[in-house]
Amino acid sequence: MSTRYASILTRLAMPAIVLGLAACAPAPIYKTAAHAVFPTPGQVAQTPEHYSGNAVVWGGRIVHVSNFPDRSEIELLAYPLDSSQRPKANDSGNGRFIAVLQGYAEPLDYPAGALMTVDGKLNGTFAGKVGEADYVFPLVAVSQSHVWTPEEMRQGRSNISFGVGLGVGIH
């Protein structure tokens, strides 16, 4: 094959390859405002007055659900989100927060340990405890939420990895 044909073939194939790689990762599930700031729950807990009323998209691991007559509160250990807004649970935690949902939240739909992403507005803080330690929880008035299934968490992730050495992986 001549160099000219190889160059043409490369130019035609490159957009398809780039498009194919971009299609691997699911799109974000919630839109974020162009001027949005992205504080962590830990930052908000330290200076809640700077963030009150701001929209956030946060995610994390569900710690527990508490139901009250008019609302439900879901405590989450926050994690950074990937480009699809899935919590990166293998990362270090960013503090804790409480997702406040109107009405009753069935605890079986929000099991402890599951990963969840919420879209909502910051609505103050709650002084509580984690174990015996005092803790300030940012409150998020949730407009939308999503509990991730294991299948959704695997979507867009390659089963191919590169490295040097010997290892065993189970998927």
Of residues 3 and 138, more confidently modeled: 138
Q: Where are the domains of the chain?
A: 41-154
Q: How much of the chain, in percent, has pLDDT values that exceed 90?
A: 64
28-37 CB contacts, 8 Å cutoff, 24+ apart: 28/57, 28/83, 28/84, 28/85, 29/84, 29/85, 29/117, 29/146, 30/57, 30/85, 30/117, 30/119, 30/144, 32/57
Would you state the pLDDT for residue 107? Answer: 96
pLDDT at 29: 75
User: Cα(27)–Cα(22) distance, rounded to whole angstroms?
Assistant: 9
pLDDT in tens, 5-53: 555 544 554 444 444 444 445 677 777 755 566 899 999 999 999 999 9
Q: Which two tokens stand for residue 87?
A: 């919590």
Instruction: Determine the pLDDT at residue 2.
Output: 59
Q: Is the pTM of this model over 0.85?
A: no
Kindly report the backbone phi and psi dihedral angles of residue 31, in degrees, each rounded to the nearest multiple of 5, phi listed first: -80, 145
Per-residue pLDDT, 162? 45
User: pLDDT value at position 37?
Assistant: 67
pLDDT at 151 over 80: yes
Question: What's the CATH fold of domain 41-154?
Answer: OB fold (Dihydrolipoamide Acetyltransferase, E2P) (2.40.50)
The model's pLDDT over 79-105, given as tens digits with 9 standing for 90+, comes to 999 999 999 998 888 999 999 999 999
| Structural contact between residues 59 and 85, judged by C-beta atoms closer than 8 angstroms | yes
